[in-house]
Amino acid sequence: MFKGSVATKRGRARAWADSLLVDHAVFRVLWDNWAEVVPGRIYRSNHPTPIRLAAAVRRYKIRTLINLRGHRQCGSDALSRDAARRLGLTHIDAPFESRGAPHKDRILRFAGIICALETPALMHCKSGSDRAGLAAGLCVLLNGGTAEAALQQLSWRFGHLKRSRTGILDAFFIRYAREGEGKKPFLDWLRDDYDEAALRRDFTASGISAFVNDRLLVRE
């Protein structure tokens, strides 16, 4: 856990050590899990290192960074916030869970953020697999896409395992497809009909994916 400041050389070195070794950024140095969600406007990735964030600004003209992890006491968080400030980006915290039923109030707040967003924007969680997939799927729906297209944002390609506890995110989009799609706009269904408790009650993780994701990898 990093609680220091990156304003000094020593603090910055400690932040990098925490990021690389504790927050597993050593894997993200070579792998960014990057994808375009809304053409030319919204992108997704794992937690960007300062170097990768600067490269994204140069190549894609990123103006806003959306942190789906929320504020955390870790080196990765401190470094990306500092990098966003140095690059002149708007930094927004929009935390989601990866293993729980998506919260209605957080989705509604996220929808408001997306509507007022200065684009191009980059959304990130830790690995770019689960919370980034949920947020990307929501962006698809908020831009007139289908639940099927939203579900494509949660896939093996991004490292998402739907049979583990993170599969509850897939179940959310499947429930909308079954209950609301073609009958109500997504946000109306969310406000009027979505039942978080029922989704939690009805979903069960099982199989080797659950063991790998939840026990072996212990992903955030």
Q: Residues 131-142: pLDDT tens digits?
A: 999 999 999 999
Q: In this predicted structure, what is the pLDDT of residue 38? A: 97
Mean pLDDT on 9-17: 96
9-216: CATH, from 3.30.360.10, 3.30.1050.10, 3.40.50.12780, 3.90.190.10: 3.90.190.10
Residues in the chain, total: 220
Q: Confidence band (pLDDT; 50, 70, 90) for 33?
A: very high
What pTM value is reported for the model? 0.92
Mean pLDDT on 75-87: 98
pLDDT tens digits for range 161-213: 988 899 999 999 999 999 999 999 999 999 999 999 999 999 988 655 544 55
Mean pLDDT on 27-50: 96
Alpha-carbon span 194 to 146, nearest angstrom? 17
Q: Give the dihedral of Cα atoms 156, 213, 102, 41; nearest 10 deg.
A: -40
